[in-house]
Amino acid sequence: MRTFARWLLAAGMTFAGVSHLFWARKEFQAQVPDALTEALPIDKDAVVVASGAVEIMFGAALVALPRDRARIGALLAAFFVAVFPGNIAQAVDRRPAFGLDSDRRRWVRLAFQPLLVAWAIWCTRDGRRSSSKG
């Protein structure tokens, strides 16, 4: 079950990353907080492209690096936490994107971010319990 969940997450990350680079680029810009681009010498499009590339790398790493899956899962969980302020900015600033065209939908979407964090950790940890006794 964990393997299937990990591969599903890998496919989702790859799809999301590719969509950052092509058809959903403008929509993802709605999630980039203004404070980020005001504080750093970077524009929203560059943030979207960079995060898309990172998502593609996570998708590939979840499949291609099985020995490092726990570390990748922890890094992916941290990535989900790191992008959460963008989701909050979208809700607070009332920016429509991805069908999130009401305050309720934008705020409900926020509830799913902790599930992504949990999914990344759960599907990348070793399901076997240590049976050593000492």
On the question of pLDDT at 134 being above 70, the answer is no
Per-residue pLDDT tens for 118-133?
Answer: 999 999 998 665 444 4
Contact 5, 122 (CB under 8 A): yes
pTM: 0.88
98: left (phi over 0), alpha (psi -120 to 50) or beta: left
Q: What's the angle, vertex CA 127, arms to CA 126 and CA 130, rounded to 5?
A: 80
Helix axes 69-92, 2-21, angle to 10 degrees: 50
Question: What integer is the mean pLDDT of 53-59?
Answer: 98
Q: What is the reported pLDDT for 99?
A: 84
> Would you give the DSSP letter of residue 68?
G
